[in-house]
Structure 1
Amino acid sequence: MGKRPRGGAVAVLADRVFAHARPSDASDLAALMGTEGGLVLTGANPVRAARRCREEQAFDGPILFDVAAAEGKVATRERPFDESGDQLVELTLEERVQGQIDAGADAALTPTRYLRAGDFGAVEAAIEGAVGLGRDDVILSLPMDVGWLATGLIDKTIGVLAQASIPKAVMLGGRRNPPQRVMDGAFGLRRLVAEVPDVALFRTDLAGLDALAQGCLAASIGTSGALRHVVPPGEAVAYGSANGDDRSPSVLVPDLLSYVRGGVLADRFGDRPAPPCRCVRCGGRSVAGFLRQEDWKDARLHGVAVWTEWARNLLYPDSLEGRRRYWRRLCRDAIAAHARYNTSVRAREPVFVPPDSLWIWAGEDTPLPARRNSRVP
């Protein structure tokens, strides 16, 4: 699989939304993405999957490999990178980077370990190591705990990352459930992608589209919940739902601009017809029709088919303000759609509730619901 010159890692990333996926989905995704998208493959046999995309699907978009070093080890100043991988003998950072390029990647992601909030020594060591390679085809992977975006850390975080003269891919990890932490994270992330040059947001959800609307270099959206954030070392991957019996997949509902579990959708609509999905994968399939284990792959591909259309529309305007207007309008329409869905199911109390992040993305002039203790400043 030959390497195609693209003018360095910045050119590989610029104005693209990648699907962050397992190799088993790669061929199907290549058919959906088009040349304006790209793939970030993580898991077993990514090289073989990438080769199939090139040779069988004639996929011409960029392909990257995420070695997911952060899932197993914490970075320190002395050892910011995982230089072992699946090898019995340790490899140098240069060898691990070159190995990705030799395997057909259009740029190499550094094998950075998990960066705990506040450990600036580890971040600085990672920057020094990546910049020290002196290559233009390397992206500094930054798997950072979401705590880096907190009010007390964000200014210094931005200052340190802004000094790194190399493209960077931030991947957030940890739990963001408390409302105040969600808000701190959303506003901190907006500042980071707007103020740090050549930064991308990887392993994320629809926050990647918001980041692009704020001037981010690129984004990668995970095809499943496990690939939409980094799982900190020592923490188990969360599968299923609050209801342990619900094994249905998470479904991107186009009208709501939100992921909702299939079983939850089916329960809320009951015997009333749910809206059909008109994406290129579904062809009118009910959004509440993803219920079984065998529907998981369909749900993943459906999600990519939906957000790739949004990404194309978002990136179409030449100006950043044009992109922001499109994104705000899309988010505001989604908030209104939540109310319509509640009416359609005749809910006495709202069962479709816009997530706080959606209110923030819709614009700072849009107030959060009064039921929330946190407010948009």
Structure 2
Amino acid sequence: MISGPKALRKASELRYEDFSGVLIADPALYEDGVATAEEPFLSRSDELPAADPLGQAVQDQLAVGATAALTPTGYLRAGDTAAVRAAVRDVAAREDLRIVLALPIDVGWLRSDLVGRLVEELGPAPGMKAIMLGGQLDPLASFPEALTGLARVLAQVPGTALLRADLAAFGALARGAAFAAYGLSGRFRHVVPPGEPAKSSGFADSPAVLFPELMALFLGKTLARRFAAAHAPVCECAACGRRTLDSFPSNRDVRPAAQHNTAVLMSWQQTLQSLAAGPARQRRWQECCRAAVERYALVNAAIRQPNGFKVQPQLLRWSLLDAADSAPAGAGAD
């Protein structure tokens, strides 16, 4: 999946270079505007408004070789049922299964008092649906029931995927998502609501490196500092061969860090998808998350820094999320 203003051009270049895999080109118009009941779909800001924004977007994406076309849905404010209903209605009217309904929803939709309305509105939507969560930093960490709400949507709305995600991409696959995408960088792991400046956890002067045993990303310089007086874990992923996790301290290491991250993520995907979708896959994911949570104390003890690494809220919530928290409608969970 390619996202952003240059997505169509990049997709075209990849097809020209004989790339034959699944390809989704997301112009990400939801970054610039909000969906309304009157106009759920947006036109590109550098062009005159199209008479039929949905039709134009589908034509543009398929023309550059996209496998399927994402709708140009605007950002869906929490509680704006009319905007969601309008988007579902217009896609259903097309009767074209190559169209994937993009749902850039504010994370507030996952609150316990709203998620049922979202599920109800998405029920009539044909084909695939692709959720992207809006909010600052880690949207799923913004309130306790967010992750439970996401699990409920995945369980009760068939054909739902999760795009622009982080750890949640794998949690979603464990919970039956049609597909998922893990963002290459922080800005592609969530959607910043239009009109809001993006919040940052700080200036990144070294690459983000995945610590597999802790199932979390840390700056390379942070890993080097934490393990300065201790033996750093050795990564044996397909990209590293045998490389210590404290060896990515500067931005000169961006490429090998990205290769390491990708190799680890692909191994997680293979592990999950080796199990059939359902309870076994969910249990496997929960066991992985629980094991990671328990390792934090062990790693901190080994480096003699009690608060050296802190469990990230989303990881903790995945470790605690039971299968009953997302049971399909009529299966005994509400």
1:88–1:176 distance in 2 versus 1, CA, 3 Å: closer
Q: Which moved more, 1:273-282 or 1:210-219?
A: 273-282
Change (3 A) 1:212 1:354: same
**Where in structure 2 are there 5+ consecutive unaligned residues?**
323-334
Q: In the alignment, what sits opposite 2:209?
A: 251
Query: Are 1:278 and 2:210 counterparts?
Result: no
Q: CA deviation at 1:306?
A: 0.9
Mapping of residues 105-184 of structure 1, within 5 Å:
105-175=66-136, 181-184=142-145
Tell me whether 254-263 or 64-73 shows the greater mean CA deviation.
Answer: 254-263
C-alpha distance in structure 2 between counterparts of 1:208 and 1:136, whole Å: 23
1:73 aligns with 2:33: yes
CA contact (8 A) 2:40 2:87 kept: yes
Match of 2:326 in 1: none
Residue 180 to residue 228, structure 1, CA distance change in 2 (3 Å): closer
Moved more, 332-341 or 179-188: 179-188
Question: 2:173 is matched with which residue?
Answer: 212
| Residue 360 (structure 1) aligned to one of 317, 328, 333 | 317
Aligned mates of 1:141, 1:359 — CA distance in 2: 28
Task: Name the counterpart of 2:226.
Answer: 268
What fraction of aligned residue pairs are identical, expressed as a percent?
39
Which residue of structure 1 aligns with residue 332 of structure 2? none
Checking the alignment, whether the CA contact within 8 Å between 1:176 and 1:182 is kept in structure 2 is no
RMSD between aligned alpha carbons? Answer: 2.3
Measured at CA, do residues 314 and 102 of structure 1 come closer, stay the same or move farther in structure 2, by a change above 3 Å? same
Aligned pairs for 1:62-101 within 5 A? 62-88=22-48, 90=50, 92=52, 93-101=54-62
Partner of 1:292: 250
Q: Is residue 2:308 matched to residue 1:351?
A: yes
1:128-154 CA distances to partner (integer Å, 9 max, x unpaired)? 122222211000000011000011111
Distance 1:322 1:125, change over 3 A: same
Structure-1 residue corresponding to 2:161: 200
- In structure 1, distance between residues paired with 2:129 and 2:39: 19
Q: 1:356 to 1:234 in 2, by over 3 A?
A: same
The CA distance in 2 between the partners of 1:232 and 1:250, in whole Å, is 24
Deviations 1:227-248 (A, max 9, x none): 0001111122345x34x4x522
Separation of aligned partners in 1, 2:20 and 2:285: 27
Q: Which has the higher contact order (CA 8 A, sep 6+)?
A: 1
CA offset at residue 182 of structure 1? 3.5
Distance 2:190 2:255 in 1: 19
Q: Check 1:297–1:81 CA distance in 2 against 1; reply closer, same or farther (3 A cut).
A: farther
Measure the CA separation in 2 of the matches of 1:75 and 1:335: 38
Residues 1:331 and 2:269 aligned together: no
Q: Is the 8 A contact 1:167 1:198 kept in 2?
A: yes
Secondary structure of 2:234's aligned partner: coil
Give distance in 2, aligned partners of 1:160 and 1:65: 26
Distance 2:33 2:47 in 1: 16
| TM-score, normalization by structure 1 | 0.79
2:330 is aligned to none
The answer to whether the 8 Å contact 2:11/2:64 transfers is no
SS for the counterpart of 1:183 is coil
Name 2:331's counterpart in structure 1.
Answer: none
CA apart distance, 1:357: 2.1
